[in-house]
Chain A
Amino acid sequence: MSTATQPAPAERAAFRRPRIRFFGQEAPLGYLLLAPTLCMLLAFLAYPFVVGLWLSVTDSEVGAIGRFVGLGNYRHEFLHDRVFLSSISNTFVYTAATTVFKLVLGLVMAVLLNQAFPLQRFVRAALLLPFIVPTVLSTLAWRWMFDPTFSVINWVLARSGLAAHGVNWLGTPQTAMASLIIVNVWRGAPFYGISFLAGLQVIPIELYEAARVDGGTRWQQFLRITLPMLRPVLLVVLLLSTILTFADFQLPFVLTNGAPYSSSHLLATWAYAQAIQGGAMGIGAAISLVLFPVLSIVIAGVLIALQRQD
């Protein structure tokens, strides 16, 4: 730890002159502390990522290293692959719709749970369950619940007279996408809800009391106090959730795997179908990476905006 003691004398000096920044002296320690993280990420993330990047600009197939083809894979996908194009729009629709629903339901859940009622602890813990159970298994359960022959949901709908033949959950492009969205929201809304709940609880009560005194309605209080105060939490949760939903694989793979007739493929599942099942690694890599530049710019923008807030 000898390097760690280096900055100490300098730092002592620094605090007697608080204005001076020490870019140089803090760098060694800074990088040292970053070292374990950087090592792990470089070895097990950066290296495969670079390989993936390289694959996307070659015509590699499984077991056969290909030649460099520049943007050929991307061009091929955009020009000739209809499923690819629909998977892009599906992914955007999926991410947008699930995020909106999770946001709204999460807020409602948080507001509700912020009240006093019996068994509150139990309810909070119970609501986290969808987030806890392994995705593969819970999605299988949902698949069984949506099953065209045995759907318990349809059984209930039919018996209760709400829908004579139930809903064709996985059988048309629209309902298949809707089913994906439903399962994703079921799984993710609790996380939003619980996060917002704790965010709610740190809002000082005085603000609300002042608003009541001024005659504000509950709805106005919500808009003017709650939402702005929740903003940092909102942004964090939204950002993380959006990124993860864009790359979601397990859920759509287990629930529909593209059916009916390849209309419900998302980017991740289509990339998998091309690379693993079809053997076209270069194309699969290109599909996986196609949104990467756009999304990383967006994230950078959001993160910078968040930093500026401080």
Chain B
Amino acid sequence: MGEGAIVGKRTQRRRRLTRRAFLQSAGAATAAAAAGSVLAAFAGGTPAAAAAVPKPRAGARIRLLQWNSFVRAADNELRRQAKEFGDANGLVVEIETVSGDQLQPRTVAAVAAGDGPDIIQMQYGWPHLYTSSTVNVDNEVAYLMQRLGKVHPVNEAYCKVGGHWRAIPYTQVPNAWSYRTDLFQKAGVTSFPKTWDELIVAGKKVADATGKPIAQTVGHAYGDSLTMWNPVLWGFGGQEVDKDGKTVVINSSETEAALRWAIRAQQNGIKWFPEWLDPDNNQAYHADRISATLNGPSIYIREVIEFKHFDQVTNNAPMPSGPKGSFTLNLIMNHAVMSWSKEQETAKAFLLSLMEKGNYSKWLKAARGYNHGPFEGLYDDPVWHYDLKLRAYRNVVIDSQGRPIGEWPGWPAAPSKQTSQSQTQFVVADMFAKAVATGDTKAAMNDAEAKLKAIFGAP
């Protein structure tokens, strides 16, 4: 049944028989007829007003630049899929991976030079920073939405600039709390705390009973500093800027409450490290020095795959909530096709092939829970079923009712250049670090306010 019927349905439903659409449907037909075409494997989905399908060009050579995934198997799977796509279409897809902090200077240099990789992985709000260098992908996202359903609001906030899609949603790296069940049990804490105040209670018990504190960075960690301190701030009602994206409202009693919480936590046995970078809490956990920390799934995964010391006694839990509710922040990554690319159609086609359900699922499986899908249709993946301990990572992306949750740095303002600058300058983390170090919440807030005013009011 498959391919022939789908093609038939498409040509029947075509409303505008533009030349492009015609060629592409013809192209789709050819591709479908060809044995290895991946695009033709899309099955199901509502064949409404069909979005045009980009067609890869045989003989093309495209390059994708992204970060090294923590789970090497995931990168290997990505490369395998790239090769498969290339072989099926007579072209070459190169995948280049670099370390996280090298991705941005490379991207900036490419944007400044007006040349570089065809596809660049956009982390956080980069589509807002480099908008003019990205290609409009409204069409492709519409295509994916037809088949995979709605986009997760956080990915959408990052990918959509000025009402247009400038990047194709790719994934989230969920962040949750990994903790040592044996140590918690020894301290008499039966389940992971559900509120920030409960966290302090538990933290004190665990530190007293075992000498191994709950710990987290309050420094310039690229991921961990954001995923920790923004939710704390929001949980108490604090915000950097107002919804309008202009008014700086950090100096408030809510923010003060959040800062006081952090100070109180430190006084009760929880440790905030101002010099920790992203690997530090991982290493401390593996070395049996701390009892719990907030992180991506990497700690748990590495225990299971490599160290096998604490894999049995590690569990994961979602973010505690504050007086104003529960908030989460995950690492968001999307793919942008760059404006200088000479093979934009091929690049788009490749990205669509990556998001095809079968392929994406294989990649999620290789990542062992490190990544989560950004489209509705990708939410319920087998990877979340085979190991129940990974559930927490799912629950910080989708809540128990199946609704997407999560915020982004700068929330509730929309992502923008200014929110990106605040993020890269670690304004929020620095504020907490200062408060915790000196106890002076007013000074910390004033400092943050001055910084934000400089950013949001800059010439």
Contacts and interface: CB of A to CB of B under 8 A. Distances in A.
Contacts of B312: none
B459 A260 contact: no
B451 A83 contact: yes
B283 A150 contact: yes
A103 to B, nearest CB: 29
B274 A259 contact: yes
A62 B112 CA distance: 6
- Sort A-B residue pairs by CB-CB distance and give the 9 closest, nearest first: A260-B274, A170-B275, A277-B424, A261-B430, A261-B433, A80-B454, A278-B421, A63-B111, A259-B219
Interface of B: 104-105, 108, 111-112, 129-133, 219-220, 273-277, 280, 283-284, 287, 289, 417, 420-421, 424-426, 429-430, 433-434, 437, 447, 450-451, 453-454, 458-459
A259 B112 contact: no
Contacts of A276: 104-105, 108
B289 A62 contact: no
B283 A149 contact: yes
A83 B131 CA distance: 28
A225 to B, nearest CB: 46
Contact of A171 (B133, B275, B453, B459): B275
Nearest to B215: A149
A93 interface: no
Interface string A268-299: 00000111111111010000000000000000
B128 to A, nearest CB: 9
B158 to A, nearest CB: 15
A278 B275 CA distance: 21
Given A61-B129, A149-B283, A261-B434, 6 more contacts: A63-B112, A80-B458, A82-B450, A150-B287, A171-B274, A279-B130
Contacts, number: 105
A81 interface: yes
B447 A76 contact: no
Contacts of B220: 257-259, 262
A93 B393 CA distance: 45
A261 B453 CA distance: 18
Given A76-B454, A83-B451, A278-B420, A63 B130 contact: yes
Interface string A42-79: 00000000000000000101111000010011001000
A285 B105 CA distance: 15
Contact of B284 (A63, A82, A149, A280): A149
18 contacts: A61-B417, A63-B129, A73-B459, A81-B454, A147-B280, A148-B280, A150-B287, A171-B274, A171-B275, A259-B277, A260-B274, A261-B437, A276-B104, A278-B420, A278-B425, A279-B130, A281-B112, A283-B458
Nearest to A147: B280
A281 B454 CA distance: 15
A266 interface: no
A62 B128 CA distance: 11
A279 B417 contact: yes
B447 A260 contact: no
B341 to A, nearest CB: 15
A262 B430 contact: yes
A176 interface: yes
B114 to A, nearest CB: 9
A192 B315 CA distance: 54
A149 B112 contact: no
B459 A72 contact: yes
Given A63-B130, A83-B451, A262 B425 contact: yes
A48 B269 CA distance: 52
B130 A256 contact: no
Contacts of A63: 111-112, 129-133
B289 A76 contact: no
A73, A81, A262: which has the most chain B beta carbons within 10 Å? A262
A83 B425 CA distance: 10
B230 to A, nearest CB: 16
A281 B434 CA distance: 28
A77 B381 CA distance: 49
B417 A273 contact: no
A172 interface: yes
Contacts of B453: 80
Contacts of A273: 424-425
Contacts of A83: 425, 451
A149 B287 contact: yes
Contacts of B430: 261-262
Interface string A163-180: 000001111100010000
A80 B447 CA distance: 11
Nearest to B109: A276
A257 B101 CA distance: 11
Nearest to A67: B459
B40 to A, nearest CB: 37
A72 B131 CA distance: 25
B108 A82 contact: no
Nearest to A84: B454
Most buried by B among A82, A260, A274, A275: A260
Contacts of B284: 149
Contacts of A278: 420-421, 424-425
